[in-house]
Amino acid sequence: MQAAPIKIWDIPGGIHPAEHKHESTQRGLEVMPLPARLVLPLQQHIGARSEPVVAVGDQVLKGQLLAEATGLVSCPLHAPTSGIVTAIGPAPFPHASGLEEWAITLDSDGEDKWTDLEPIADYQSLEPATLLDMIRLAGISGMGGAGFPTSAKLKARPEQKIFTLIINGTECEPYITADDTAMRYKAAEIVAGIEILMHILHPADVLIGIEDNKPEAIAAMRAAVGDRAMRVIEFPTKYPSGGEKQLIQILTGKEVPSGGLPADIGMVCQNIGTLLAVHDAVLLGQPLIKRITTLTGDALTRPTNVEALIGTPIRDLLQFAGLQPDKLYRLVMGGPMMGFTLQSLDAPILKTSNCLLAGSIEELPPPPVAQPCIRCGLCSEACPASLLPQQLHWFALGKEHDQLKRLNLFDCIECGCCSYVCPSSIPLVQYYRASKAEIRALDLQTHKADHSKQRFEHRQARLQRETEQKEMDRKVRAEKAARIKAAKEAAQPSETETSAEATTDVTRIEAHKPTGLTPEQKQLKIAAATAQMALKKAQKQIAANPDNVDLQAQVPELEQACEQAQRTFDEAMGEVSVKAPAPPSAAGADDAKRLKIEAAMARASLKKAERAAGDSPTEEQEKEIYALREQVAVADARLPKDEAPRKPLDESLKKAKLDAAMAKAALKKAERAQSENGEDAALQEEIERCRAQLSDALGVLEQAEAKASQLETSQQRAEKKPVDETTLQLKTDMATAKASFKEAERAVQEARENNADTGPAETELANSREVLDKAAKAFAAHMASKETN
């Protein structure tokens, strides 16, 4: 499947520094002897530090898990050899700062004994998700650049299909030959790794980009690829072609949006070393414990490439390559363009360490003293991101952060081209790094200040609330005491009906209070709520998997149970209201007002709870909301009839109207499509469906309207109660059931017309009829129970 030769695009800027690659490619790929001690920092990747699962003194086997990932963007760590854990704590760390970092120190026992491995030869039979898991559990992070966990990178944008898988064999930095060596000697494994990723991602295109200064690697990769659906693309050498964004631009002409990921434009870029690790993880079952590292520089007598265990101290590696300590002046981890200097030889190599450059003072002389910028513009000509480095330099000097952001400082990839070409030897990249760090720190500080402000204000509000609450409690207590006292005083002179009246009055008020339910009522209420909950849950589940027959069968039962519970509860409440005598006419107006207030309060707290629950309420919240709804209903029911709110019904009417309009629109659209495209069976069907929907919707609308008018009249007559939530719910259920019944009917008809097997459709029809019957019954029963109330 060799497609037409791909167009090679050019990137702006770029430089051609002396390559110095041949020094380290003369000795092939050597295997580093087993070191006596390994230092394994817990932060080898971008993201959260991994968490040790071993203790000091533990004996571990090669490949055994030492530390596990602590989040999505994190990476587990495995023992590179067998031995004993001798320390867990701060240890030398390869970082420009020279600071220490938490690490597991492992003393090798020399046996190099593997733990049990589970290689998978037949990975094609596995789900991509399983393979991703294997990659994640093998602790693989990007081995070329920043060290982003590979599994997270592969599924960075789950919703975005990956069309192009790009394999980065560019290795544009001078001196480094690790990927070159890997491609020369391990091309087959790399291709196997690519195939695994292809199985995971199913890309339309696989591009392997290699610079034309690596003819041996290109030949080896071409041979290994053979006639597989991958393309090895050779393009002119230019630094920094190997930057992820730059490589994408070279191979596809597209640009990764600022602040975005390659996945945003349907691409994923993987490094050669990462592919080797993927191969090892899946086909050999080995976690990531070794890598190929270039050892080079003037201070080494035999520069070479080695396969070294992660965690091997740099001292061991350099000694292996014949370090001349007196010549070593500058030790760089990474390449001469983007690498960072190390202060000590005790630090180990990490999963990301592709090169150690031990330079002499002649090779990497200290930079000359910076001269003033003469704005010659060579830097902007060299910048691969088309920034204005000299402007950034001026603004960095003046710490004008807004201007730096305006000039897109954060799109700088720190490739070093600008510093390389600067005739005034200005350490431009250092200015950008410092500015970026400062801006980030300030942003963080601002963020924290906002956060603190919020916490402070909330605390103030809480304190205020607490004081007010105390004050109110005190008042309420005082009032209550006064009332009881008054009642007592009133009762004393003559034990007439007034006292009875007064007491019943109090009882009634208590009964109206949501909390003033008798234990029995409470229990009933809870039962009703639980039943309602179960019903809702079942309905939700059905919505999620509409094919589940068991669940659908449960619903009518649940509905009935719910209905019954509700009825019992309503009856219990009814008893109370029946028991309670009619309010004395004198107190009527006052009572109405109080009741209204109570209802309003109940509604307010319901609203608050709903707001708090938001779109995804927890179970408790739902329960609470339900209970509050109950209260509202009760409170509303107690209101003088003409005061009852009409809102719920209005809403249902509105919804029905909306549905009808939507159905009408859909029908029209389908019809239009048909008139444009002529006769089409699928369209015809669509129209039919739309028509049915419309008629359903119109039916519902009619019903709703009828109810509304009925209600209006009933309200005018002040005879009937408003439609409460339960009624509505039941009615909706009935409508749904009716709709599904109709649909089933249609399905049967269709099946008959097509001379197909009508069996399943008929079962469906029977089912839906049953559901409809039940719903209708439930509704009728509910209405009846309401009538009795």
Partner 1 sequence: MALVRITSPHARGNNRTQTIMLWVLGATLPGVAVMTWLFGFGTLINILLASCFALAAEALILRLRKRPVVFFLSDGSALVTAWLLALALPPYVPWWLVLVGTSFAIVFGKQLYGGLGQNPFNPAMVGYVVVLISFPVEMTTWPAWRGIEQALPDLHSVLGLLEALQRVFLPGSVPTIDGWTLATPLDVVKNNSSLTMDELAASGQPVFGSLGGRAWEWVNIAYLLGGAVLIYKRVLSWHAPAGMLLALGLMSLLFWGGSGSDSNGSPMFHLLSGATMLGAFFIVTDPVSGATSSLGRIVFGAGVGILVYVIRAWGGYPDAVAFAVLLMNLAAPTIDYYTTPRTYGHRKAERGMGKAD
Partner 2 sequence: MGMILTAILVLLALALIFGAILGYAAIRFKVDGDPIVDQINALLPQTQCGQCGHPGCKPYAQGIANGGEPINKCPPGGESTIQALADLLDVEVLPLDAEHGEEKARTVAYIREAECIGCTKCIQACPVDAILGAAKQMHTVIIDECTGCDLCVEPCPVDCIDMVPLPTTPQNWKWDYPLSGETLIATDAQRGAA
269 is in an annotated binding site: no
- 466 contacts partner 2 (rule: CB under 8 A): no
391 binds, among partner 1, partner 2, none (CB under 5 to 8 A by kind): partner 1
Cα 91 from Cα 314, distance rounded (Å): 13
Contact 80, 40 (CB under 8 A): yes
The bridge status of strand 37-41 relative to strand 100-108 is antiparallel
Tell me, rounded to whole angstroms, the distance of Cα 230 from its chain centroid: 32
256 binds, among partner 2, partner 1, none (CB under 5 to 8 A by kind): partner 1
Cα 325 from Cα 302, distance rounded (Å): 14
Q: Could you tell me the two tokens for 151?
A: 């599994």
- 450 contacts partner 2 (rule: CB under 8 A): yes
Cα 224 from Cα 654, distance rounded (Å): 67
Candidates 224-232, 240-248, 441-449, 473-481: pick the segment binding partner 2 (CB under 8 A). Answer: 441-449
| Cβ-based nearer residue to partner 1, 138 or 337 | 337
Which helix H or strand E contains 269, and what residues bound it?
Answer: strand 267-271
Residue selected from 209, 348, 416, 556 as contacting partner 1 according to rule CB under 8 A:
416
- 371 contacts partner 1 (rule: CB under 8 A): yes
Q: What are phi and psi of 210, to 5 degrees?
A: -135, 135
Residue selected from 51, 255, 400, 438 as contacting partner 2 according to rule CB under 8 A:
438
Which helix H or strand E contains 675, and what residues bound it?
Answer: helix 647-677
- 434 contacts partner 2 (rule: CB under 8 A): yes
Cα 697 from Cα 688, distance rounded (Å): 14
* Interactions with partner 2, residue window 372-431 (CB under 8 A): 372, 396-397, 424-427, 430-431
Q: Nearest CA to 581 among 493, 658, 500, 690? A: 500
Binding pattern for the stretch 94-133 against partner 1, x by CB under 8 A and - elsewhere: --x-x-----------------------------------
* Interactions with partner 1, residue window 339-358 (CB under 8 A): 339-344, 357
Binding pattern for the stretch 15-54 against partner 1, x by CB under 8 A and - elsewhere: x-xx------------------------------------
- 464 contacts partner 2 (rule: CB under 8 A): no
* Interactions with partner 2, residue window 98-117 (CB under 8 A): 99, 101
| Cβ-based nearer residue to partner 2, 66 or 429 | 429
For 593-602, the CB contacts below 8 A with 24+ separation are 594/509, 595/512, 595/635, 595/638, 595/639, 595/640, 596/639, 596/643, 598/512, 598/513, 598/635, 598/638, 599/632, 599/635, 599/636, 599/638, 599/639, 602/514, 602/628, 602/631, 602/632, 602/634, 602/635
- 322 contacts partner 2 (rule: CB under 8 A): no
Q: What is the DSSP letter of 62?
A: B
- 93 contacts partner 2 (rule: CB under 8 A): yes
Cα 556 from Cα 554, distance rounded (Å): 6
415 is in an annotated binding site: yes
* Interactions with partner 1, residue window 291-330 (CB under 8 A): 325, 328-330
Helices (H), 36-177: 128-137, 150-154
Residue selected from 34, 60, 88, 364 as contacting partner 1 according to rule CB under 8 A:
364
- 448 contacts partner 2 (rule: CB under 8 A): yes
Q: What are phi and psi of 2, to 5 degrees?
A: -80, 105
Q: What is the DSSP letter of 722?
A: P
Residue selected from 370, 612, 682, 784 as contacting partner 2 according to rule CB under 8 A:
370
Candidates 183-191, 203-211, 434-442, 571-579: pick the segment binding partner 2 (CB under 8 A). Answer: 434-442
Q: Could you tell me the two tokens for 315?
A: 């001292």
Cα 65 from Cα 638, distance rounded (Å): 66
- Sheet arrangement for strand 83-92: 37-41, 100-108, 83-92, 59-60
**Residue owning tokens 């299909």:** 161
- Sheet arrangement for strand 340-341: 29-31, 304-309, 290-296, 355-359, 330-333, 340-341
412 is in an annotated binding site: yes
Residue selected from 26, 124, 430, 709 as contacting partner 1 according to rule CB under 8 A:
430
* Interactions with partner 1, residue window 142-201 (CB under 8 A): 174
172 is in an annotated binding site: no
Residue selected from 259, 493, 519, 614 as contacting partner 1 according to rule CB under 8 A:
259
437 binds, among partner 1, partner 2, none (CB under 5 to 8 A by kind): partner 2
Binding pattern for the stretch 19-58 against partner 2, x by CB under 8 A and - elsewhere: ------------------------x---------------
Candidates 419-427, 441-449, 468-476, 695-703: pick the segment binding partner 1 (CB under 8 A). Answer: 419-427
Contact 37, 83 (CB under 8 A): no
Candidates 414-422, 513-521, 544-552, 700-708: pick the segment binding partner 1 (CB under 8 A). Answer: 414-422
Q: Shortest gap between Cβ of 364 and partner 2 (angstroms)?
A: 10
Which helix H or strand E contains 326, and what residues bound it?
Answer: none
Applying CB under 8 A, what is the total number of residues that bind partner 2? 40
| Cβ-based nearer residue to partner 2, 442 or 490 | 442
- 654 contacts partner 2 (rule: CB under 8 A): no
Residues 6+ apart with CB under 8 A from 444: none
- 473 contacts partner 2 (rule: CB under 8 A): no
Cα 396 from Cα 433, distance rounded (Å): 10
Residue ranges at the known binding site for [4Fe-4S] cluster = 373, 376, 379, 383, 412, 415, 418, 422
Question: Which residues sit at the interface with partner 2, rule CB under 8 A?
Answer: 43, 93, 95-97, 99, 101, 366-367, 369-372, 396-397, 424-427, 430-431, 433-435, 437-438, 441, 445, 448-453, 455-460
